[in-house]
Amino acid sequence: MGETAAPKPTGTALVVSQDTAAIEQLIVPLQQFAISVRICPDVEEAMSLVEKRKFEAVVVDLVLGYQAMTLLQMVHDSPSNRTAVTFAITTSREEATLALKRGAHFLLERPLSADSLSHTVRAAYGSILRERRRYFRYPITVPVLLRRSGNPQLPGQMMNISERGMALKAPVSVAPGSEGTVQFVLPDLAVPITAEAKVCWSNEQGHAGLQFLSLSAETASKLSAWLAERLEEQLPKNVTQKFGSPTDL
Q: Is residue 32 part of a domain?
A: yes
What is the structure's pLDDT at 2? Answer: 39
What is the structure's pLDDT at 150? Answer: 75
Q: pLDDT band at 236, cuts 50/70/90?
A: low
Q: Is residue 228 part of a domain?
A: no
Question: What mean pLDDT is predicted for residues 169-194?
Answer: 90
Q: pLDDT band at 213, cuts 50/70/90?
A: very high
- Please give the residue range of the domain that contains residue 16: 11-135
Average pLDDT of the chain, as a whole number: 88
Q: The domain spanning residue 83 has which CATH number?
A: 3.40.50.2300
pLDDT for 68-105, tens place per residue?
999 999 998 998 899 999 999 999 999 999 999 998 99
pLDDT for 113-128, tens place per residue?
999 999 999 999 888 8
What is the structure's pLDDT at 243? Answer: 56
3-class secondary structure per residue, the chain: CCCCCCCCCCEEEEEECCCHHHHHHHHHHHHHCCEEEEEECCHHHHHHHHHHCCCCEEEEEHHHCHHHHHHHHHHHHCCCCCCCEEEEEECCHHHHHHHHHCCCCEEEECCCCHHHHHHHHHHHHHHHHHHHHHHCCEECCCEEEEECCCCCCEEEEEEEECCCEEEEECCCCCCCCCEEEEEECCCCCCCCEEEEEEEEEECCCCEEEEEEEECCHHHHHHHHHHHHHHHHHHCCHHHHHHHCCHHHC
Report whether 210 contacts 163 (CB < 8 A). Answer: no
Q: Is residue 227 part of a domain?
A: no
Q: pLDDT band at 234, cuts 50/70/90?
A: confident
Do residues 51 and 154 both lie within one domain? no
State what percent of residues in the chain have pLDDT above 70: 91
Helix 66-77 and helix 43-52: axis angle, to 10°? 0
Question: What mean pLDDT is predicted for residues 160-176?
Answer: 92
Do residues 95 and 163 both lie within one domain? no
What is the structure's pLDDT at 248? Answer: 58
Stronger pLDDT, 101 or 5, i.e. the higher one: 101
Q: The domain spanning residue 196 has which CATH number?
A: 2.40.10.220
What is the structure's pLDDT at 3? Answer: 41
Structural domains in the chain (count): 2
Question: Looking at 135, 153, 181, which one is the last position of a domain?
Answer: 135
Rounded distance between C-alpha atoms, residue 103 and residue 108, angstroms = 14
Stronger pLDDT, 228 or 241, i.e. the higher one: 228
pLDDT for 145-165, tens place per residue?
999 877 788 999 999 999 999
Is residue 238's pLDDT more than 70? no
Question: What mean pLDDT is predicted for residues 198-214?
Answer: 93
Q: In this structure, what are the phi and psi dihedrals at residue 136, rounded to the nearest 5 degrees?
A: -65, 125
Q: In this structure, what are the phi and psi dihedrals at residue 66, rounded to the nearest 5 degrees?
A: -60, -30
